[in-house]
Structure formats: C-alpha cells, structure tokens
Amino acid sequence: MSFTGKYELQSQENFEPFMKALGLPDEQIQKGKDIKSISEIVQDGKKFKITVTTGSKVLHNEFTIGEECDIEMLTGEKVKAVVQMEGNNRLIANLKGLKSVTELNGDTITNTMTMGDLTYKRISKRI
C-alpha cells in the first residue's frame, strides 16, 4: 500500500493540551487549531518525503525506513529519529520522548502522537 498522495486534515483530538505540553506559545496554538492542514506524502520504496502545510507554516521531512534522519518537530526543533514500518501501512517513530504512529487505511490517514499519558490524534482524508 502506497502512502503517496495529498491529505486534508478532517479532525483532531487534544490539539491544545498536546501543543501546550510541547511548549508552543498560546498565540501559536490558537492560530493553528482551526487551520486546515494539507499533508503531501511521496513514497518511493523505503524513501519518504512528507510536506505538511498549515497556513503559512510548512514542515518538510525526508527519511528512509530504518535509517537515522533529522526530523523537524512541530516546535521547529530538529531531532534525530529512526522511522520504522510495521506491516505495509504503519509508520512508527520515537522522537525525544514522543511516539508518532501514522497509519493508512484506504483513503484515511491517522496520525497519533503520544507523550507520557497525553495523546494527540489527527485524521486526514485523501484529496
């Protein structure tokens, strides 16, 4: 199953408490909570390019499954991480105390980020 495509954010859960826990300023959280973000994923075998556009903010990450890379966090900080693939539709990364699981089911992509006992979930549909 290929992740390649463009996905529009449909819903999210626990955005504000999660962003506060990450250390984002309230002003940025308020601005970001109602903006529809678009994720564009290009998969070429084990190589991935992911671009997430939220308003004027663009987050761009590239990685190869199983190899260490630099991932830009939502805070703008770059951290070293290794992204693993589970089955053919799930990407898992551990970034500085944060676990990110991205799962593709048909035209729906679900990204769940967990930090301690706090979970933030984003659901996007292919457009």
Whether the predicted pLDDT of 53 surpasses 80: yes
Q: What is the pLDDT of residues 15-48, one digit of tens each?
A: 999 999 988 889 888 888 888 899 999 999 999 9
75 lies in which domain range?
Answer: 5-126
Longest Cα–Cα distance in the chain: 39
Domain containing 31 — which CATH number? 2.40.128.20
Total number of domains constituting the chain: 1
Mean pLDDT of the chain: 93
| Nearest C-alpha neighbor of 9 from the set 50, 71, 52, 43 | 52
Distance CA 55, CA 73 (A): 17
Supply the pTM of this predicted model.
0.90
